[in-house]
């Protein structure tokens, strides 16, 4: 079950909201928990048992941590709890990758490959494992005490708006909202508007660009125009797909009184890779900084170690996105640029003020160069294999010709091109939206409702299209 489906829109969601508001306040966590389990179990009931087991494990380890009086024992408990969570993630997410890589090595040595049955990846596993790990680490660091209310904790882990693809949340930041939150018509209305905004992003923009992206990334010899058209289309598809999901999750949460943090802040106007990661998937960036970068030592162990920690954090962040060498290379790409920016920034800070010169074109150059680096990275991120990415890069360099290739020209539709242009306009106009006259803003916001009706009608004309981040 996905948010952008008739089953969710006209079945699950209205029934859930009806039951939720009919339930007494003190029992609404039960309604959230059972409804979220139904939402998750609709796909695979056996993986619902895995979600429950991870929840019970982390709840128990948190209480064990609190009851242990000795710091060394607490560290051992934390290590055991985090390790069990990571082993669960590793088994389901990385076993196939490990066996495939081993078999490729064995075959290169003329040794028979291993026989194995591929393991199915549970949807949302990476996200709820991150939630439980952050909970245990926060308890260990004395950021917050463990909760005694198992139902609230289980409801937080399973909360269906963020269960599948985030935002990545910390329990201690939502604990008070589980105990007491405000329900109002104004908040519910804002939630509805936010939800349908995300719905339109997904259905009208991301799903419209999807065929163009799929066509280009499967071309055997893409031309210069093919490659850049596909790379830019994927850059926009991924943003509107994932930010659309985040909008829908935030909107659903508002409908039941929760306030989730923002997950995107106009990332494609960033002037550096570091700024990009402060604007893109903000909750994951914060998680990686708080629980991985700092745990590796952060910037506390010397300049060289700081660069290494930045690189390793992004390398592991890339691997978290998927069990494929393309994700590892994508993480290494961003990690290398973050380390280089840190180095150049430290050198620049030592430059005497009188030696610095203002450049009116600097901001434009920084934004354009950063976006170029991001687009080049997304090519690796989207490719199934590193060789596919190399083929795209060759096309982007014009090695297969410059003009639009015939295979793409035959399949390319005017709707895809107009959507591409409109998406680019939205990316660069949206940051200035808040500066417009409030009267015009209020009038234009009403356009979202007819667009929503159009998106609902469009669902019947397209095939199943899950959110891109479901695979992670």
| Helix ranges, 257-405 (H) | 273-279, 282-288, 303-321, 325-349, 362-382, 386-396
What is the helix (H) or strand (E) element at residue 74, kind and residue range? helix 71-108
Of 321, 334, 385, 432, which residue is the catalytic one? 321
Identify the residue whose tokens are 């900084």. 289
The CA distance from 407 to 214, in Å, is 12
Q: Which of 268, 381, 240, 384 minimizes the C-alpha distance to 321?
A: 381
Q: Assess contact for 42 and 163: CB atoms under 8 A.
A: no
Q: Is 412 left (phi over 0), alpha (psi -120 to 50) or beta?
A: beta
Question: What separation in angstroms does the CA of 24 have from each of 21, 31, 303?
Answer: 8, 10, 55
Identify the residue whose tokens are 């289309």. 233
The CA distance from 375 to 42, in Å, is 36
Q: Kindly report the number of other CB atoms within 10 A of residue 363's CB atom.
A: 11
Kindly provide the b/e burial profile for residues 156-183, where b requires at least 16 CB atoms within 10 angstroms of the residue's own CB: bbbbbbbbbbbbbbbbbebbebbeebee
User: Is 84 exposed, middle or buried, given 0-12, 13-18 or 19+ CB atoms closer than 10 A?
Assistant: middle
Q: Assess contact for 123 and 43: CB atoms under 8 A.
A: yes
The CA distance from 344 to 220, in Å, is 39
Q: Which residues pair with 399 in a beta bridge?
A: 401
Q: Tell me the DSSP string of 166-226.
A: -----HHHHHHHHH-----HHHHHHHHHHHHHHHHIIIIIIHHHHHHHHHHTT-SS--HHH
End-to-end CA distance of the chain: 16
How many residues are given for the chain?
472
Q: Which of 410, 182, 371 minimizes the C-alpha distance to 267?
A: 371
Q: Assess contact for 217 and 326: CB atoms under 8 A.
A: no
User: Is 320 exposed, middle or buried, given 0-12, 13-18 or 19+ CB atoms closer than 10 A?
Assistant: buried
Active site residue 321: yes
Catalytic residues: 321
């Amino acid at each position: 079950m996905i948010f952008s489906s008739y089953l969710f829109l006209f079945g699950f969601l209205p029934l859930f909201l009806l039951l939720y508001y009919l339930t007494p306040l003190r029992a609404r966590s039960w309604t959230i928990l059972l409804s979220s389990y139904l939402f998750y179990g609709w796909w695979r009931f056996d993986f619902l048992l895995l979600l429950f087991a991870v929840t019970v494990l982390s709840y128990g380890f948190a209480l064990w941590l609190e009851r242990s009086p000795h710091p060394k024992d607490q560290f051992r408990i934390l290590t055991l709890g985090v390790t069990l969570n990571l082993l669960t993630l590793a088994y389901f997410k990385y076993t196939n990758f490990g066996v495939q890589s081993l078999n490729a090595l064995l075959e290169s040595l003329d040794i028979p490959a291993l026989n194995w049955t591929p393991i199915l990846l549970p949807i949302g596993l990476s996200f709820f494992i991150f939630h439980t790990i952050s909970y245990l680490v926060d308890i260990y660091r004395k950021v917050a005490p463990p909760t005694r209310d198992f139902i609230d904790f289980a409801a937080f882990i399973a909360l269906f708006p963020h269960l599948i693809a985030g935002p990545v949340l910390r329990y201690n930041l939502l604990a008070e909202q589980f105990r007491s939150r405000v329900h109002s018509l104004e908040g519910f209305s804002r939630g509805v508007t936010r939800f349908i905004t995300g719905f339109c992003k997904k259905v009208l923009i991301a799903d419209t660009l999807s065929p163009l992206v799929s066509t280009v990334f499967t071309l055997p010899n893409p031309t210069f125009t093919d490659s850049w058209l596909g790379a830019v289309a994927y850059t926009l598809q991924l943003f509107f797909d994932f930010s659309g999901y985040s909008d829908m999750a935030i909107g659903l949460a508002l409908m039941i009184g929760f306030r989730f943090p923002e997950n995107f802040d106009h990332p494609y106007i960033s002037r550096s890779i570091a700024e990009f990661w402060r604007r893109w998937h903000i909750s994951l960036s914060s998680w990686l900084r708080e629980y991985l970068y700092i745990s590796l030592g952060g910037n506390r162990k010397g300049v060289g170690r700081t660069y290494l920690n930045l690189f390793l954090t992004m390398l592991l962040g890339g691997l978290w996105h998927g069990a494929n060498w393309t994700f590892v290379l994508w993480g290494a790409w961003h990690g290398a640029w973050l380390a280089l920016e840190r180095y150049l920034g430290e050198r620049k800070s030592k430059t005497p003020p009188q030696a610095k010169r203002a450049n009116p074109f600097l901001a434009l150059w920084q934004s354009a160069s950063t976006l170029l680096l991001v687009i080049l990275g997304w090519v690796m991120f989207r490719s199934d294999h590193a060789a596919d990415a190399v083929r795209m890069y060759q096309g982007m360099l014009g090695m297969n010709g410059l003009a639009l290739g015939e295979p793409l020209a035959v399949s390319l539709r005017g709707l895809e091109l107009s959507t591409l242009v409109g998406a680019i306009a939205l990316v660069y106009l949206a940051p200035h939206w808040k500066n417009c006259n409030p009267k015009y803003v209020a009038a234009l916001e009403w356009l979202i409702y007819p667009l929503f009706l159009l998106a609902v009608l469009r669902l019947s004309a397209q095939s199943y299209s899950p959110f891109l981040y479901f695979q992670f």
